[in-house]
Structure formats: structure tokens, C-alpha cells
Amino acid sequence: MNLLMLSVIVIVYLSIIAYLGYRGYKSTKTASDYLIGGRNIHPYVMAISYGATFISTSAIIGFGGAAGIFGMGLLWLTFLNIVVGIFIAFVFFGKRTRIMGYNLDAHTFPELLGQRFESRFLQGASGILIFIAMPLYAAVVLMGASHFLAQTLSISYNVALLFFTAIIAIYVIMGGIKGVMYTDAFQGSLMFLGMIFLLIITYNKLGGVTQAHKSLTALAPEAIKIFGKAGHQGWTVMPALFSKFWWTLVSTIILGVGIGVLAQPQLVVRFMTVKSNKELNRAVLIGGIFILMMTGVAFVVGALSNVFFFNSEKYHAISFLAAGKNVGNIIPLYIKEAMPNWFTALFMVTLLSAAMSTLSSQFHTMGTSIGRDFYEKGLKTKSNKTIFISQTGILIAILLSLFLAYSLPKFFAGGTAIIARGTAIFFGLSAAAFLPIYLGGLYSKKITKKAAIAGFLTGVIVSAIWLFFFHVKESQPLLLCHALFGVDTLAGKSTWAVVDPILIALPISTIVTIAVSFFTKPPKTEHLDKCFSEIK
């Protein structure tokens, strides 16, 4: 790679990021500015920030690499991302969230839940859960970007990890949500251009759209030879129904992420940053097109990389084998080997943008969950230190995520395979803990405070039990199940060992929320009138 060209690109990129972060810092005067941008963010900035936060290196590197194994079936996740993650999220969740957040003067997702159900415990506990669980998601995003940087620049993974983390830390801590969203909009625009070029060059290299897909279909015998026992039937068809691969693809990847997006704290808060529902309406089309290009391209290219590697004289193997059986290396290796040098530099900036946009939002959310939700509201502390405590929380969250990004590859088989799985774990946990009470709180006046707390705790506990003792992808490397019971999973060799926690925890937490509401005293009418004021 031309180091001079790369240096110029990176310097210009970081200079723009620094300027946008500084602009966010200068326009942040109050806690409201720091937490929700003063509720006056432009719809384009909001939509791209939402999409760029949603789509990270875990989507491009992790799930793109997963497409190199599972194939085009991952496009069902793109479908859910657009229908559920954009249309339903903006139209049916976003509008009510914005209005109710304004009515209750809520500045964070946990505060929205706490104020809606008049529960200081729920707000504080939600903040603690986010602060404890989200570092896993942040860590896998860090891993994806750092692996790409390390492979592209031929430097140590640890050096890339430290350098990348330091850059993000500076503008997130100083600029608040405005700094985060301004940089998100710029980074999202770069991501969009990068993915367009990636798709065009890939099809051109493989002989055109029709020829590329015909070649991939013809590789089905190779897929069956290697993955046939797990249910693989080729990269252009779904795995065999109810096979191991089918359960992993459908329950963990498609449903885990496709449904879990509705209850992502760092995404929900975006709805509270705009001044009216008109901005949300305008953002739907922008967000939908953005998500289509980000995930759709990553999944298509990930699957098609098999054609390139199989036909390559250097590798003559499918992407999984070419990348050393390491899923997270598939996309970086494909970019390095198949793309021209100028594009490698451009795509490095695309990956930096994807990771930085997601991580900045994650760190901001973790910091505010401690500063606003736990310290100020959960502990009922009256002080003017919310921003300072939030900034301290961000720093702690960054350090914790950095430690996990350094440690995780050593504990999980397949190394960077944890990139996609870590994302699915957090999305599934968020869905089980938050989605029933979030949806119920927005649409029903009958969900009680006790029901919300019971549903939240049930979602967390059932998810944890399934992760530690049943879902073999986590229970095996976490070792707790083996230490207590002498086996890797209590599910044995049954199908339950590959069923994702979201399919167990989400239905149970939903049932508990509804059942407890039925047997407990309804909320006060005057409080409900305030919550639902102007909601039609």
C-alpha cells in the first residue's frame, strides 16, 4: 500500500473528526445538550447517526465474515434491519418515544423507563445493566476495527487496538452527544460511499452480477463437503431446516439482532434528539437506504468472497479456510487480496468510520447510564456533576472495553468469531430485558411498576442462565457450567444447545410482564395522562 497516500487520507479524516468533535464540545452548554443534543438535531444527522451507530465493524467484519460461511441467508437480517430496525422503530416506537421523553423530561433510555413507570430502581438497574453488559458489544467492535488495521498496516493487533481506542476516547468524552452525532453523520456518509465501491468492484472482479452468483451456486458441493454435517446446503440457499446451522443463523444472527435492535439504548436515545415527528418521518427513507447498503453489501460480498478465494491460485479454498478458519479475518483478507491498493486505503477509513460511529455512541451511552441514571437519578443525588460523572463513566467503560477486546480472542474458540456473536449476545439481552416493558410502556396504560420491574429482572436472569448453562457457544468457553456440573452445556447434544437465549428469555419476560400487570394495582391516572399527552 502507498504509505504516503494512506497517511494523507488518515490525516485529513482525523482532522475532520477533530473539528466536528470540537464543534460538538463548543455547542454543549447544558446537561441536556450533552445527553440529547438539546432536542434539536437535524433529521439527516439523526438518521445517519442512527444507522452508523447501528452498523459497526461487527456488522461489516463480523457478520460479513459470517456470510462467508452461512451465505446469502444473512440477507434476511438485512430485511429485518430495514423493516424492524428502521420502519417499525421510527414510526411505531420513535414517535411515541420522542413525545413521551419530552413529556417526562427524559434524557436517556433508562430514564424514559424509570419515569414512565415511576421507578427509581428500574432506572438505576437499567443503567447498571447497560454499563456492565455493553462493554462486550463495544469490545467486539474494537476487535473488528483493530484486526483490519493490524492486517492492512502489518502492525501488531495490540498496537492497533490502543491507537484506535485513544482516538475515540478524546472526542466522545469532550463532545457529548452532539460531538458523537456530528461525527456519526460524516462517518456514515463515508461508509455509504465505501460500500458502494466495494459492491461494484466485487461484481466487476467476479465477471458481473449474474456470473458471480452462478459461480457461488456452483460451489455448493464444496460447502456440503465441509459443513454438510451441520446442515449447510450451499451459499445461495438456507441451511437444512432445524439443523445446527439453521438454528444458529435464524435464532442467533437473524432474530437475535433483527429483533434486538428495537431495544438498543444507544439507538432509542436518538429519537429524543429531534424536535418533532416530521424529522422522524424524513429520517425513515434515509435510514432505510443506508441500512440496505451497509448490511446488504457486507453480506453479499462476504458470501461472494468464496468464489474469489476458491478461484485464487494462492488460496484455492473457500473463504473460511483461506482466512485460517477465523471468521473475522475473511473480509479483511478479501479486501487485502482482491481489492486495488487505493480501495484498501479507502476501505480502511470506511471501517474506521463504522467502528468509531458505533463505539462513540456506546461509550456515551455507558457514561450517561452511570452519570445520569445511576448516580443522579438512581441514588437520588442532587448535584451539578452529572456531566463530570458521565465523562468519568465513559473513561471507565473505554478501559473495560479495551481489556475485553484484548482478552476475548484468547478465550473463545475461533478467535474473532466472537465479533458477530458478541453483538448478538447484547442485542438479545437488551430485547429480553427491555423490549416488553418498553413496548408496553409506550402503548399500554395497564403495565404496572411491579410488572415492569418483574419483566426486566426476568429477562436479565433467564438470558444469563441460558448463556451460562445452555447455549453451548457461550457456556463452553465461559466454563461456569463445566465447573459446577462437569459438562459444557446442560442441554447435552440436543437442539436446545444451539437455540439462542432471545427465543427463550424474550417470551418468558413478556409473559411475566403481562401476568404481573394483571394482578397488580394500575398506575395513577394523572401520571398516565402526563405520559401519553399529545400521543395519538
Residue 439 CB neighbours (<10 A): 18
Sequence letter at residue 489: T
pLDDT at position 32 is: 60
Name the residue ranges covered by the structural domains of the chain: 3-407
The span from the CA of 335 to the CA of 57, in Å, is 14
The vertex-457 CA angle with 456 and 459, nearest 5°, equals: 65
Residue 112 CB neighbours (<10 A): 26
92 and 330 Cβ atoms separated by less than 8 Å: no
Query: Quick one: CATH architecture of 3-407?
Result: Up-down Bundle (1.20)
Q: Does the reported pTM lie above 0.85?
A: yes
The span from the CA of 197 to the CA of 440, in Å, is 42
Residue that the C-alpha cell 478465494 belongs to: 309
Q: Which residues, at least 6 apart from 151, have a Cβ–Cβ distance to it below 8 Å? A: 329, 332, 333, 336
Three cell numbers written together for 43: 433529521
pLDDT tens track, the chain, 536 positions: 566 676 677 778 778 877 777 777 676 666 666 556 556 677 777 878 788 777 777 778 888 999 999 999 999 999 999 999 999 999 999 999 999 999 998 988 999 999 999 999 999 999 999 999 998 888 888 887 787 777 667 778 888 888 878 877 766 666 556 667 777 788 888 889 989 999 999 999 999 999 999 999 999 999 999 999 999 999 999 999 999 999 999 998 899 888 989 999 988 988 888 888 888 888 888 889 989 999 999 999 999 999 999 999 899 899 999 988 888 789 989 998 998 877 877 787 887 787 777 887 788 888 888 877 887 777 777 666 767 787 788 888 888 988 888 887 666 554 445 666 788 889 999 999 999 999 999 999 999 999 999 999 999 999 999 999 999 988 988 888 999 999 999 999 899 999 999 999 999 999 999 999 999 988 888 999 999 998 87
pLDDT at position 414 is: 47
The length of the chain, given as a count of residues: 536
Sequence letter at residue 46: M
Closest residue by Cα to residue 182 from 30, 60, 294, 18: 18
